[in-house]
């Protein structure tokens, strides 16, 4: 039988406010355990939560960007459950009236663009962390994360393959980073997702029973976990069994999902409006201010980059996916007065790998867009070859000065003196008679070898194209 899978994602977007959602404690990642949880975060008697306005405005930004409705009045609710990393015994979340309702994201699929509907996005506080390593049979509790603001973005069950789920996740990831509401760091858990997966016979209108795969924190694992889960469910049904609604955990080491617990229903949580918090009100004035300060959104950026610059589709997509990278690109193109393709190559090649190597973000790059633009200028005006440019780039990276100073100080200027090049070519022709004969016999490829020898003899400072032409003319006469 032909099967179809159905996927709905619940993504937890950690909002990058300085302080927690209902307290003044810091949200900085990586502090010593339990140094950043105050009385409010752990629910000591007598304390009261106070709404962090910044988190509300961030939620509204996302709502506007996805074309959703921002509720002028939404309500916080208590979601009650017991767990050691939730000392209050309840999580403050939103239930009946979330801050954002509706909206959509468009994704690209093998069959063309598809619109994925978003059900809602609600604000809530994160729980602490249970630490199972390092404690020899005991569990450590770190409450630093308790009270960190989350925006949970819930999609309709519109996704039809693991690839579509990843495309949707990447789209949302790009969007929250462009909106500057989340740092998107998946290793640190700032962007994580639960995947709801079911299967049904192709053509069937009714949804099958779903399993919820918890806490997946990389694009690759999302894809693999869903693949595994689809196969598992199909096998269960084809064996005459039926899928149980439950929560499952993905194990990346074994590449499988395993049952964690039966799925709770909403009524198990005894949701009720939190009496400590007034309804959340967002004014028209606030929404207008957010609308007028909206940055260029990823889709619009891609369209503009692709039409205003000469770029391959792949490069345009990569640049548009990261607004800081795109800004860097546009500044460098301005500094070089064009050369967009070459600049994109440098940014996505040498610069990105140097940044990755040192775990730096583009905003921390020691090579500025102006420097890169100037470097490109010096390739264009034949001051240096592309190969020497890589050496200059290395020096720029290490902070050894400006482009022209580095070229001057180290005598890297391309040899334009044709006598000097001619002499180097003659020397190589004398030194490699058998390769010369091969070229004369029509083996064009061997010219590359001779050019290489001349470049070596001139420490890379000859213009390779000029050398190539000269060798050809000398050997054809």
**Binding residues vs Mg ion (CB under 5 A):** 10
CB 216 within 8 A of CB 192: yes
CB 247 within 8 A of CB 212: yes
Counting runs of H as helices and runs of E as strands, what totals does the chain give?
Answer: 16, 17
Instruction: Fill in the per-residue mask, 178 to 207: x = in contact with ligand ADP (CB under 6 A), - = not in contact.
Output: ------------------xxx--------x
**Dihedral through CA 307, CA 312, CA 317, CA 319, nearest 10?**
-90
Interaction partner, residue 207 (ligand ADP, Mg ion, none; CB < 5-8 Å by kind): ligand ADP
Token pair for residue 59? Answer: 């939620």
Q: CA-CA distances (angstroms) from residue 312 to 178, 340, 344, 401?
A: 22, 10, 9, 32
CB 372 within 8 A of CB 334: no
User: Cβ of residue 189: shortest distance to ligand ADP, in angstroms?
Assistant: 19
Cite the beta strand spans of 385-466 per DSSP E. none
Token pair for residue 476? Answer: 């054809």
- Closer CB to ligand ADP, residue 274 or residue 330? 274
- Closer CB to ligand ADP, residue 8 or residue 98? 8
- Closer CB to Mg ion, residue 119 or residue 340? 119
Q: Would residue 255 be called left, alpha or beta, if left means φ above 0 and alpha means ψ between -120 and 50 degrees? A: left
- Closer CB to Mg ion, residue 10 or residue 85? 10
Which part of the chain contacts ligand ADP (CB under 6 A), choosing from 148-156, 236-244, 373-381, 436-444? Answer: 148-156
Paired with 259 in beta bridges are: 248
User: Cβ of residue 272: shortest distance to ligand ADP, in angstroms?
Assistant: 16
Query: Per CB under 6 A, does 102 bind ligand ADP?
Result: no
Query: Per CB under 6 A, does 4 bind ligand ADP?
Result: no
User: Cβ of residue 95: shortest distance to ligand ADP, in angstroms?
Assistant: 10
Query: Per CB under 6 A, does 156 bind ligand ADP?
Result: yes
Q: Are strands 211-216 and 246-251 parallel, antiparallel or unpaired?
A: parallel
- Closer CB to Mg ion, residue 152 or residue 339? 152
Which of 154, 249, 260, 447 binds ligand ADP (CB under 6 A)? It is 154
Token pair for residue 291? Answer: 């609308």
Residue in 253, 183, 195, 246 with CA at minimum distance from that of residue 219: 195
Token pair for residue 419? Answer: 């006598």
User: Cβ of residue 265: shortest distance to ligand ADP, in angstroms?
Assistant: 7
Token pair for residue 286? Answer: 């606030």
User: Cβ of residue 11: shortest distance to Mg ion, in angstroms?
Assistant: 11
Instruction: Fill in the per-residue mask, 453 to 472: x = in contact with ligand ADP (CB under 6 A), - = not in contact.
Output: --------------------
Query: Per CB under 6 A, does 157 bind ligand ADP?
Result: yes
Interaction partner, residue 155 (ligand ADP, Mg ion, none; CB < 5-8 Å by kind): ligand ADP
Interaction partner, residue 198 (Mg ion, ligand ADP, none; CB < 5-8 Å by kind): ligand ADP
List CB contacts of 425: < 8 A, sequence separation 6 or more: 454, 467, 470, 471, 474
Residue nearest to ligand ADP (CB): 8
User: Cβ of residue 225: shortest distance to ligand ADP, in angstroms?
Assistant: 14
CA dist 186 and 144 (Å) reads 18
- Closer CB to ligand ADP, residue 262 or residue 366? 262
Which of 6, 127, 375, 403 binds ligand ADP (CB under 6 A)? It is 6
Query: Per CB under 6 A, does 8 bind ligand ADP?
Result: yes
Query: Per CB under 6 A, does 421 bind ligand ADP?
Result: no
CA dist 305 and 330 (Å) reads 9
Which secondary structure element, helix H or strand E, spans residue 154, and what is its range?
Answer: strand 149-155
- Closer CB to ligand ADP, residue 71 or residue 383? 71
Query: What's the farthest any 2 CA atoms get from each other in the chain?
Result: 97
Query: Per CB under 6 A, does 103 bind ligand ADP?
Result: no
Question: For residues 215-252, b (16+ Cβ closer than 10 Å) or e, as one string?
Answer: ebbbbebbbbbbbbbbebbeeebeeeeebeeebbebee
- Closer CB to Mg ion, residue 10 or residue 163? 10
Interaction partner, residue 326 (ligand ADP, Mg ion, none; CB < 5-8 Å by kind): none
- Closer CB to ligand ADP, residue 209 or residue 435? 209
Distance of CA 447 to the CA centre of its chain: 44
DSSP 462: B
CA dist 389 and 274 (Å) reads 62
User: Cβ of residue 269: shortest distance to ligand ADP, in angstroms?
Assistant: 9
Interaction partner, residue 235 (Mg ion, ligand ADP, none; CB < 5-8 Å by kind): none
φ/ψ of 75, rounded to 5, equals -130, 135
Interaction partner, residue 6 (ligand ADP, Mg ion, none; CB < 5-8 Å by kind): ligand ADP
Interaction partner, residue 9 (Mg ion, ligand ADP, none; CB < 5-8 Å by kind): ligand ADP
Which positions touch ligand ADP (CB under 6 A)?
A: 6-10, 154-157, 196-198, 207-208, 210, 212
């Amino acid at each position: 039988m032909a099967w179809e899978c159905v996927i709905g994602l619940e993504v937890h977007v950690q909002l990058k406010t300085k302080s927690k959602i209902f307290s003044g404690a810091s949200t900085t990642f990586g502090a010593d355990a339990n140094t950043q949880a105050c009385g409010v975060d752990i629910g000591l008697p007598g304390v009261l939560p106070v709404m962090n306005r910044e988190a509300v405005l961030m939620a509204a930004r996302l709502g506007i960007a996805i074309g959703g409705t921002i509720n002028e009045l939404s309500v916080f609710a208590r979601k009650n459950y017991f767990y050691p990393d939730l000392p209050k015994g309840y999580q403050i979340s939103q239930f009946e009236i979330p801050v954002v309702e509706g909206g959509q994201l468009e994704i690209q699929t093998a069959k063309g663009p598809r619109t994925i509907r978003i059900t809602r996005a609600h604000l809530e506080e994160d729980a602490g962390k249970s630490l199972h390593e390092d404690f020899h049979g005991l569990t450590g509790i770190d409450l630093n994360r308790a009270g960190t603001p989350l925006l949970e973005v819930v999609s309709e069950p519109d996704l039809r393959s693991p690839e579509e789920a990843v495309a949707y996740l990447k789209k949302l990831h790009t969007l929250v980073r462009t909106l500057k509401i989340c740092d998107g760091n998946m290793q640190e858990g700032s962007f994580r997702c639960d995947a709801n997966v079911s299967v049904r016979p192709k053509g069937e209108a009714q949804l099958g029973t779903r399993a919820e795969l918890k806490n997946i924190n990389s694009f690759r694992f999302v894809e693999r976990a869903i693949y595994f889960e689809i196969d598992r469910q199909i096998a269960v049904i084809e064996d005459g069994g039926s899928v149980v609604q439950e929560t499952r955990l993905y194990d990346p080491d074994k590449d499988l999902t395993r049952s964690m617990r039966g799925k709770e229903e909403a009524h198990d949580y005894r949701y009720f409006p939190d009496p400590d918090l007034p309804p959340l009100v967002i004014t028209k004035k606030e929404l207008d201010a957010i609308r007028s300060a909206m940055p260029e959104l990823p889709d619009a950026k891609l369209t503009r980059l692709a039409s205003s610059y000469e770029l391959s589709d792949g490069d345009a997509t990569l640049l548009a996916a990261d607004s800081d990278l795109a800004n860097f690109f546009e500044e460098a193109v301005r500094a070089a007065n064009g050369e967009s393709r070459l600049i994109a190559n440098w940014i996505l090649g040498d610069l990105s790998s140097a940044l990755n190597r040192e775990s730096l973000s583009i905003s921390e790059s020691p090579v500025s867009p102006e420097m890169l633009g100037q470097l490109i200028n010096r390739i264009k005006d034949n001051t240096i070859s592309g190969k020497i440019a890589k050496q200059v780039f290395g020096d720029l990276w290490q902070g050894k000065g400006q482009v022209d100073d580095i070229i001057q100080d180290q005598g890297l200027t391309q040899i334009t003196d044709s006598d000097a090049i001619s002499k180097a070519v003659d020397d190589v022709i004398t030194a490699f008679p058998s390769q010369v004969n091969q070229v004369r016999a029509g083996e064009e490829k061997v010219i590359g070898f001779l050019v290489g020898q001349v470049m070596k003899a001139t420490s890379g400072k000859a213009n390779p194209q000029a050398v190539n032409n000269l060798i050809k003319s000398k050997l054809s006469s």
